[in-house]
Amino acid sequence: EDLELSGYQHFMLKEIHEQPDAAAMVLRGRLDERFATARLDGLGLDPRELRGFRRIKILGCGSAYYVGQLGAQLIEDLARIPADAEAASEFRYRQPIIESDTLYVAVSQSGETADTAFAVEEIKRKGGRVIGVVNVVGSTIARTVDGGIYLHAGPEISVASTKALTNMALSFALLALHLGRLHDLSHADGQRILRGLQRIPEQIREILDGSEAIAAVADDVAKAQSAFYVGRVRGFPVAREGAQKLKEISYIHAEAYQTSELKHGPLALIDPDMPTVAVIPDDELTDRNLAAAEQILARKGPLIAITHAGVDLGHLAARTILVPKNEPELDPILLTIPTQLLAYHAAVLLGHDVDKPRNLAKSVTVE
Ligand code: G6P
C-alpha cells in the first residue's frame, strides 16, 4: 500500500506530506543526548580514522548534488573541516586528485545513478575512502561504498525528489554533528544542534499546514516565462534546488544566483515580468539580503520572500512565505520545503504531469 496515492492527487504531493514522518525516521536512534552527538553506526570508520580526514568531498547528481552543497556547508559550519560538493557526472572526467586524507561521500536517493556509481568506482580504484548517503537499501552504490548513512525515507515514486532530499540534508546534519563532536564543537553547541534536529519534523508539519498560502503565491510564478531564485551562503543551495524543481516539473526557466552576485550581471534582467524568489533567513546576512531585495523592487521585479518571522520586510512590497525558525545551521533544511510546494502548485496550475515530467527519469542508470 506504500505505492498508492492514498487520496493525494500526485505522488509528489503525497511524498511532500510524508516528510515529517520520514524526517523522524532518519533521526530515530541516531541522536545521542548524553554525548551531544549523532550515533552513526553504519559509517564503518572509527573515531580515530574520522578525525584524520582533512577534507570532505561530496559527490551527487541533480538535486542530490545541490543537497550535497548544503551538506558541505553544514560540515564546514559544525566540524570546521573544509568541505565541498561536486557534480558526480563531471568528476571522473577531470582527472580528480584522490587524496588519502579526504573523506568522499556519494549521495544518491536510488543508489543506482550511473554517474555517481562511476565516481565511487574511480575513488575506490585509487585508494580513496568513500561512504554513501543513500535511500535504497542494497543498491549498487550502497554495496560499493565502505559504509554510510541510510536515509530511511521510504519508497519515492515521483521523479521530482522531495522527502529523500530532506532526509539527505538531515543525514548531512547528523554527519556534521558527529564530525564536529570529534573536533572542536562544544557539548553545548552539540546539544543546541541536537535540539534543533528534534524540532525539525514538527516544523515541517507547520510549513505543510500553511501550504495554501504557498499555493496562492505559486500563481505569480506560474505566469512567468522565467524566474530567478536567489540566496547567499547557506541559502544558495536552497535557491539552486528551488530553481531545479521549478524547471523540472513546470518547464519554466529558472536560474539560481547568489544574491550577492545579482548586481554583477543578472540585475539587468529584472523587470515586472521576471519574478525573484529570494531566500532571506533571519541571520547575520539579513540586512545584506534586504538591500538586494530593495534593488529588485526598485526595478519593479516581483519579489517572493521565503523568510522568518523575525525579518522586517515592512516597507518592501513582497509576497512573503514564512518558515519557522530553527538554528541558523539547520534553517536551510526548512527553507527548502516551500520551494517544493511552489514548484508543485505552479506545475499543477499549468496542467503538467507532475509525477512524470517530460525527458526525465527517476534514476538515470546510463551515462
Ligand atoms: C535524476 C533525477 C533527479 C535526481 C538525480 C539523482 O536525474 O531526475 O531528480 O536528483 O537523478 O538521483 P539519485 O537517485 O542519485 O539521487
What pLDDT is stored for residue 310 in this prediction?
Answer: 92
The residues pairing with 149 across neighbouring beta strands, listed in sequence order, are 133
Tens of pLDDT, residue by residue over 82-105, are: 999 999 999 989 989 999 999 999
pLDDT-derived band at 113, boundaries 50, 70, 90: very high
Mean pLDDT of 127-148: 97
| Residues whose CB is less than 8 angstroms from the CB of residue 153 and which lie 6 or more positions away in sequence, other chains included | 22, 25, 26, 109, 135, 163, 164, 166, 167
Please tell me which residue in 124, 223, 356, 362 is annotated as part of the active site.
362
| Mean pLDDT, the chain, whole residue set | 95
Mean pLDDT of 62-80: 98
* Ligand 1 pocket residue status of 108, Cβ below 6 Å: yes
Cα of 63 to ligand 1 centre, how many Å? 6
* DSSP codes of every residue in 93-135: GG-----TTEEEEEEESSS--HHHHHHHHHHHHTT-EEEEEES
Counting Cβ atoms within 10 Å, is residue 203 exposed (0-12), middle (13-18) or buried (19+)? buried
* Known catalytic residue at 362: yes
Percent of all residues in the chain with a pLDDT value above 90, rounded to a whole number: 89
Residue 359 has pLDDT above 90, yes or no: no
- How are beta strands 318-322 and 303-307 bridged, if at all? parallel
pLDDT-derived band at 357, boundaries 50, 70, 90: confident
**What φ, ψ does residue 311 adopt, rounded to 5°?**
-90, 130
Tens of pLDDT, residue by residue over 126-136, are: 999 999 999 99
C-alpha 323/C-alpha 98 separation (Å) is 40
Residue 160 has pLDDT above 80, yes or no: yes
Cα of 161 to ligand 1 centre, how many Å? 7
What pLDDT is stored for residue 2 in this prediction?
Answer: 52
Mean pLDDT of 235-251: 97
* Ligand 1 pocket residue status of 357, Cβ below 6 Å: no
* Residue to probe by mutation, ligand 1, list 363, 365, 367, most atoms within 8 Å of CB: 363
Count Cβ atoms below 10 Å from residue 297 Cβ, excluding itself: 17
C-alpha 119/C-alpha 60 separation (Å) is 9
Mean pLDDT of 209-229: 93
* Ligand 1 pocket residue status of 61, Cβ below 6 Å: yes
**Interface predicted TM-score (ipTM) of this complex, two decimals:** 0.94
Rounded-to-5 percentages of helix, strand, coil across the chain: 50, 15, 35
Residue 366 has pLDDT above 90, yes or no: no
What pLDDT is stored for residue 365 in this prediction?
Answer: 84
Q: Atom 5, ligand 1: which residue's CA is nearest? A: 62
C-alpha 355/C-alpha 18 separation (Å) is 16
Mean pLDDT of 138-152: 97
Q: Atom 1, ligand 1: which residue's CA is nearest? A: 363
Cα→Cα distances 309→61, 119, 312, Å? 33, 42, 8
| Residues whose CB is less than 8 angstroms from the CB of residue 169 and which lie 6 or more positions away in sequence, other chains included | 67, 70, 71, 74, 332, 333, 336
Q: Atom 4, ligand 1: which residue's CA is nearest? A: 62
Residue 1 has pLDDT above 70, yes or no: no
What pLDDT is stored for residue 267 in this prediction?
Answer: 86
What pLDDT is stored for residue 358 in this prediction?
Answer: 83
* Ligand 1 pocket residue status of 109, Cβ below 6 Å: yes
C-alpha 322/C-alpha 302 separation (Å) is 17
Total H helices, total E strands in the chain = 14, 12
